[in-house]
Amino acid sequence: MEGGKDIGEGSSRRKRQAERRSSRRRMEEPPVEEEVPEVAMGEEEDEGMTLVANVEEERKRRAKAMKTARLAGAMLRAEEAQRHLEERERDLELAHEQAMTLQSERDQLRIRAEAAEAQVAEMTQELATLRVQRPPEDQEETLARGLQQIVTDIGRSRSRSRSGASVSRATGASVGQYLAGSSSRRRNEEEERRRQGEGSAHEGRGGGEMLPPPDRREGSGESGGGQ
């Protein structure tokens, strides 16, 4: 009995020793890495590459959209500048046409003014001749009125010209002085004729009674008209 017991204890001791040696051996050996299935790793790599490709494609799409928007804006600005340039060209053409029209009108007014000035000079010379020859009053007044009308027409036709305005003022002043002198002379002549008529009537009634000489103011009137 005791022998069998010893044998059983020895067997148990050897078993425990074997387990300790096996445990020590496992602790000394490096750990074995678990193998990952190749199929799972390939799927993860494909997903990552797809994500990167999507991001790159989105970036390119946004860059292309920005370039398209910039190009469209530049085209709109170019079209606006073209329209503005065309409007400016039309304005310049219209201004050129207006300038040509004004130049033509100015030339016509200058020709008319020169012709009127020549006519005024001719009529002024004729009036001077008539003053020396002392024509009838109605003819002299008619000529003076005609000259005044011509001067008025010159002033109207050359209202845009400074030289025309100065000529009209100078000629108008001369004609005004001449008309004033003519009116004064007519009054003096009428008064002289009236006094002569009264003197003749007194001579017929008084039988040769002497009358005082009439106050002749014709000379003063002529001098006033010549000023």
Pick 198 or 92 by higher pLDDT: 92
Report which DSSP code applies to 215: -
- Average pLDDT of the chain is 71
Pick 112 or 43 by higher pLDDT: 112
Residue-number span of the structural domain to which 161 is assigned: 98-206+216-226
Compute, in degrees rounded to 10, the torsion defined by CA atoms 194, 198, 203, 206.
-170
Identify whether 63 is part of a domain.
Answer: no
Q: Total domain count for the chain? A: 1
Q: Which residue has the tokens 């003096």?
A: 188
Residue 79 above 80 pLDDT? yes
Identify whether 111 is part of a domain.
Answer: yes
Grade residue 214 by pLDDT with cuts at 50, 70 and 90. very low
Identify whether 39 is part of a domain.
Answer: no
Identify whether 142 is part of a domain.
Answer: yes
Residue 95 above 80 pLDDT? yes
Looking at residues 38-64, what average pLDDT do you find? 78
111-168 pLDDT tens trace: 998 998 888 888 888 877 877 665 555 666 776 777 777 777 777 766 655 554 454 5
Taking the C-alpha atoms of residue 124 and residue 145, their distance in angstroms, rounded to an integer, is 12
pLDDT attached to residue 197: 67
* Range of lowest pLDDT (32-36, 48-52, 197-201): 32-36
Rg for the chain (alpha carbons), in Å?
65
Identify whether 191 is part of a domain.
Answer: yes
Identify whether 70 is part of a domain.
Answer: no
Looking at residues 78-105, what average pLDDT do you find? 93
For the chain, where are the alpha helices, taking DSSP H only? 2-28, 38-133, 137-157, 162-206, 218-226
Nearest alpha carbon to residue 90 among 102, 101, 82: 82
Identify whether 153 is part of a domain.
Answer: yes
Share of the chain above pLDDT 70, in %: 53
Identify whether 152 is part of a domain.
Answer: yes
pLDDT attached to residue 209: 46
* Range of lowest pLDDT (29-43, 125-139, 170-184): 29-43
